[in-house]
Structure 1
């Protein structure tokens, strides 16, 4: 069974990061915690309402430029990389790479699902791909 299978069909919850309900970032937090035994920062306090998307996008951008995440080309996508997507003009949605062409994600009002990165809806909104520094370090050590 693929690691993503138990995470498909989870319900949406604004700041959730448990199997009872997740946000897009909360889904990443949950998977990293349960599958990789890595703790990601929680941005729950930043997700109070959709009107604060600029602040969320700024946080995503700041983290992406920091030591925790390293940008990688989409052509090198690997499991557990975080794909960032635009919502309007802001980078405010994320998903986890399952296969080189698919990502696990969730959007408000829907259950978590696997999306096709090549689908026009997602390909046109793709903004960047990031790999956790510890995963890169584990790969180098192996």
Structure 2
């Protein structure tokens, strides 16, 4: 978690993929690249405001064979990707993502807030959690 703490406080920037600014996908992208040495697709042509295109890109990436969807009884670990929904209603699609910084702790970037840590069990976060994914290269190192 100490390594990931260095990514707290990065300003929010749509399509951002650097310490100057990140959107919600840019933050895990930057961490995977710099900390884990794993290159994820950039997707910098998709605005995070285009939730349909963003959701499709995330679905395509997590179904690429490079990720494993965690079972409900598995505890998310650092570097697991978190897909989230806007509101906890039936049929809602994932439109937001973050990365597990430590068991029970989410690091994500939001417009107007930037990158920050939050507890996965918080009442405003827990109902929005949709799925967790583990990159197979990270899993092989554990």
So what's the TM-score if we normalise by structure 2? Answer: 0.89
Structure 2, unaligned runs of 5 or more: none
Q: Which residue of structure 2 aligns with residue 115 of structure 1?
A: 118
Q: How many residues align?
A: 137
Show structure 1 runs of 5+ residues with no match. none
Where in structure 2 are the equivalents of 1:67-86 lying within 5 Å? 67-73=65-71, 75-86=74-85
Query: What's the Cα RMSD here?
Result: 1.5
Matched, 1:94 2:97: yes
TM-score (norm 1): 0.89
**Contact 2:15–2:46 (8 Å) recurs in 1:** no
Distance 1:127 1:102 in 2: 15
Residue in 1 aligned with 2:56?
Answer: 58
Task: Give 1:97 shift.
Answer: 0.5
How far the C-alpha of 1:138 sits from its partner, in A, is 2.4
What SS class does the counterpart of residue 125 from structure 2 fall into? helix
Report deviation, 1:125. Answer: 0.6
**TM superposition outliers: structure 1 runs of 4+ over 6 Å:** none
